[in-house]
Amino acid sequence: MKIAAVSDIHVAPDGSDKELVKEIHVIASDYEPDVFVIAGDISDDSKILSETLATLRLKNCVNLYVPGNHDIWFEKETGLSSLDKYSTVIGKICQKTGFAYLPDEPEIVSDTAFVGSIGWYDYSFRSEEFDIPEECFESKEFKGSIWYDVFSVDWEFSDREATDLFNRKLQYDLSVLPDAVEKVVYVSHHLPFREMTLYKNILPWDFFSAFMGATSTGQILQEEERVVLAIAGHSHIRKIQKIEQITAMTVPIGYGRPENGEYESLAKSGIALIDLNNGVEILEFVTGDICEGMPYQSTR
């Protein structure tokens, strides 16, 4: 079974990313995967999310989506809350555009189950190098550096409650998988393993590392021996790491765009290709920050 995976396209609201999205679709199509996984952060605007998924959907392929934190940012214009978006709106968009919405239920493709959610963070990824008080993580602000979910996610859960909620859903999804399932692929936006994060020993970078994921989620995965692969986004640094029986990888594109409009190579380096036929075989994967040196999208 071949899996193509990408995340964090962060589609610009001014339409300037249309070419990039088309390139991603062309390259992913050429790989002829059995499953196409997109691990969140397309847009905080649900209309753009819908248009983008409609463009990206691959024919003759199982298309899967989990939302990212940006996708669930509440919308002032439409009145949609984070919970509206996570629990109903994005699921409906996925249904309309031909994607399975993993937070609703796992998707089983022959002998492999795809299980996933947005995941969340509980500050367990915090760096021990810096003495940052607990309340700074809760308020998402440290010395003027702000993690923007504080302004943009309006559900009532604390971060630990949200992490716990998604963990319990994951445990439930794993517990009801049929015995015929031989392999499990976990797909999330936030990271289940600390080792998937890049620490730089500088601030505010390592303050923000605390908002990357939760180690408790990875512990649940390690307890289920059928889990062979974990695909995530969120960190805009691409990494691959073996954690016991699990190959864990981040597959983001990120915010930068080539100045010359040469989207093909950015799209190509953004799509990971994995074959599950003989263990976990990585066919295509570029590590690091593939947007390094490129200017930010002009409208963000």
Q: How far is the CB of 255 from Fe ion (least distance, A)?
A: 8
Closer residue to Fe ion, CB minimum distance, 126 or 234:
234
The DSSP symbol for 78 reads T
Residue 66 token pair: 């989990």
Q: How far is the CB of 278 from Fe ion (least distance, A)?
A: 32
Rounded Cα distance between 238 and 226, Å, is: 24
Q: Which of residues 80-119 bind Fe ion (CB under 5 A)?
A: none
Closer residue to Fe ion, CB minimum distance, 69 or 112:
69
Rounded Cα distance between 109 and 183, Å, is: 10
| Interaction between residue 68 and Fe ion (CB under 5 A) | yes
Q: How far is the CB of 40 from Fe ion (least distance, A)?
A: 6
Rounded Cα distance between 84 and 11, Å, is: 21
* CA distances, 120 to each of 137, 160, 175, 247, 271 (Å): 14, 8, 20, 20, 23
Interacting residues of 1 by C-beta distance below 8 A, sequence separation 6+? 34, 35, 109, 110, 112, 275, 276, 277
**CA 257 centroid distance within chain:** 19
Residue from 69, 97, 117, 235 touching Fe ion (CB under 5 A): that is 69
Q: How far is the CB of 190 from Fe ion (least distance, A)?
A: 7
Quick note: the x/- pattern for Fe ion over 26-65, rule CB under 5 A, is: ---------------x------------------------
Residue 22 has phi, psi (to 5 degrees) of -60, -40
Binding span for Fe ion by CB under 5 A among 7-15, 52-60, 124-132, 136-144: 7-15
Residues paired with 58 in a beta bridge: none
The single-letter code of the amino acid at 86 is Y
Residue from 57, 126, 234, 238 touching Fe ion (CB under 5 A): that is 234
Binding span for Fe ion by CB under 5 A among 4-12, 107-115, 173-181, 220-228: 4-12
Q: Binders of Fe ion: how many residues, by CB under 5 A?
A: 5
| Cα–Cα nearest to 67, from 21, 149, 7 | 7
Closer residue to Fe ion, CB minimum distance, 68 or 213:
68
| Interaction between residue 67 and Fe ion (CB under 5 A) | no
Tell me which residues touch Fe ion (CB under 5 A): 8, 41, 68-69, 234
